[in-house]
Structure 1
Protein backbone atom coordinates (compact mmCIF):
# COMPACT_ATOMS: atom_id res chain seq x y z
CA UNK A 1 0.00 0.00 0.00
CA UNK A 2 1.55 3.25 -1.08
CA UNK A 3 0.58 6.91 -0.74
CA UNK A 4 -1.61 6.84 -3.86
CA UNK A 5 -3.80 4.09 -2.38
CA UNK A 6 -4.23 6.18 0.77
CA UNK A 7 -5.15 9.24 -1.31
CA UNK A 8 -7.73 7.20 -3.21
CA UNK A 9 -9.30 5.92 0.00
CA UNK A 10 -9.48 9.44 1.45
CA UNK A 11 -11.05 10.75 -1.77
CA UNK A 12 -13.72 8.05 -1.75
CA UNK A 13 -14.41 8.62 1.96
CA UNK A 14 -14.77 12.36 1.35
CA UNK A 15 -17.18 11.75 -1.53
CA UNK A 16 -19.28 9.43 0.63
CA UNK A 17 -19.41 12.02 3.43
CA UNK A 18 -20.46 14.69 0.94
CA UNK A 19 -23.22 12.50 -0.47
CA UNK A 20 -24.42 11.67 3.05
CA UNK A 21 -24.67 15.38 3.90
CA UNK A 22 -26.54 16.12 0.67
CA UNK A 23 -28.91 13.23 1.36
CA UNK A 24 -29.56 14.52 4.87
CA UNK A 25 -30.11 18.10 3.70
CA UNK A 26 -32.57 17.15 0.97
CA UNK A 27 -34.31 14.38 2.90
CA UNK A 28 -38.02 14.58 3.65
CA UNK A 29 -37.51 14.68 7.42
CA UNK A 30 -35.28 17.78 7.35
CA UNK A 31 -37.65 20.05 5.47
CA UNK A 32 -39.78 21.05 8.47
CA UNK A 33 -36.80 22.10 10.55
CA UNK A 34 -35.24 24.05 7.70
CA UNK A 35 -38.53 25.83 6.97
CA UNK A 36 -38.84 26.87 10.62
CA UNK A 37 -35.25 28.10 10.69
CA UNK A 38 -35.79 30.08 7.49
CA UNK A 39 -38.72 31.95 9.04
CA UNK A 40 -36.90 32.91 12.27
CA UNK A 41 -35.51 36.26 11.02
CA UNK A 42 -39.04 37.38 10.14
CA UNK A 43 -40.67 36.37 13.43
CA UNK A 44 -42.08 39.29 15.35
CA UNK A 45 -41.27 39.69 19.02
CA UNK A 46 -43.94 40.75 21.51
CA UNK A 47 -41.44 42.83 23.46
CA UNK A 48 -38.53 44.69 21.84
CA UNK A 49 -36.28 44.16 24.84
CA UNK A 50 -37.12 40.50 25.30
CA UNK A 51 -33.68 39.33 24.22
CA UNK A 52 -31.93 41.73 26.59
CA UNK A 53 -34.16 40.79 29.53
CA UNK A 54 -33.79 37.06 28.90
CA UNK A 55 -30.00 37.22 28.85
CA UNK A 56 -29.81 39.04 32.21
CA UNK A 57 -32.16 36.70 34.09
CA UNK A 58 -30.52 33.97 36.10
Structure 2
Protein backbone atom coordinates (compact mmCIF):
# COMPACT_ATOMS: atom_id res chain seq x y z
CA UNK A 1 0.00 0.00 0.00
CA UNK A 2 2.76 2.44 0.91
CA UNK A 3 4.67 1.44 -2.22
CA UNK A 4 1.72 2.38 -4.42
CA UNK A 5 1.51 5.81 -2.79
CA UNK A 6 5.23 6.46 -3.30
CA UNK A 7 5.07 5.37 -6.94
CA UNK A 8 2.01 7.55 -7.55
CA UNK A 9 3.73 10.49 -5.89
CA UNK A 10 6.85 9.94 -8.01
CA UNK A 11 4.72 9.86 -11.15
CA UNK A 12 2.94 13.08 -10.20
CA UNK A 13 6.22 14.86 -9.43
CA UNK A 14 7.70 13.66 -12.73
CA UNK A 15 4.72 14.92 -14.72
CA UNK A 16 4.77 18.27 -12.88
CA UNK A 17 8.49 18.60 -13.57
CA UNK A 18 7.92 17.91 -17.26
CA UNK A 19 5.08 20.45 -17.41
CA UNK A 20 7.27 23.08 -15.71
CA UNK A 21 10.11 22.36 -18.13
CA UNK A 22 7.83 22.68 -21.15
CA UNK A 23 6.37 25.94 -19.81
CA UNK A 24 9.85 27.39 -19.32
CA UNK A 25 10.84 26.34 -22.86
CA UNK A 26 7.69 27.94 -24.26
CA UNK A 27 8.36 31.15 -22.32
CA UNK A 28 12.01 31.27 -23.40
CA UNK A 29 11.20 30.80 -27.08
CA UNK A 30 8.11 33.03 -27.20
CA UNK A 31 8.21 36.27 -29.14
CA UNK A 32 7.28 38.52 -26.23
CA UNK A 33 10.42 37.48 -24.31
CA UNK A 34 12.74 37.98 -27.27
CA UNK A 35 13.17 41.74 -26.82
CA UNK A 36 14.31 41.33 -23.24
CA UNK A 37 16.73 38.56 -24.17
CA UNK A 38 18.15 40.62 -27.05
CA UNK A 39 18.72 43.53 -24.68
CA UNK A 40 20.40 41.24 -22.14
CA UNK A 41 22.62 39.81 -24.88
CA UNK A 42 23.93 43.31 -25.65
CA UNK A 43 24.78 44.13 -22.02
CA UNK A 44 28.44 43.02 -22.18
CA UNK A 45 29.03 45.57 -24.92
CA UNK A 46 27.03 48.43 -23.37
CA UNK A 47 29.83 50.02 -21.34
CA UNK A 48 32.45 50.15 -24.10
CA UNK A 49 31.82 53.87 -24.69
CA UNK A 50 32.20 54.93 -21.05
CA UNK A 51 35.27 57.03 -20.17
CA UNK A 52 37.97 55.50 -18.03
CA UNK A 53 37.83 55.94 -14.28
CA UNK A 54 40.06 58.94 -13.25
CA UNK A 55 42.04 56.85 -10.75
CA UNK A 56 42.90 54.32 -13.45
CA UNK A 57 44.22 57.10 -15.69
CA UNK A 58 46.67 58.23 -13.01
CA UNK A 59 47.87 54.72 -12.28
CA UNK A 60 46.34 54.65 -8.79
CA UNK A 61 44.86 51.30 -7.88
CA UNK A 62 42.78 50.43 -4.85
CA UNK A 63 44.22 47.65 -2.73
**Runs (5+) with no aligned partner, structure 1:** 50-58
Partner of 1:8: 11
TM-score by length of 1: 0.75
Larger radius of gyration: 2
In 1, distance between residues paired with 2:6 and 2:19? 20
Question: Deviating runs (4+, > 3 A) in structure 1?
Answer: none
Q: What value does the CA root-mean-square deviation take over the aligned residues?
A: 1.3
**Runs (5+) with no aligned partner, structure 2:** 54-63
Partner of 1:33: 36
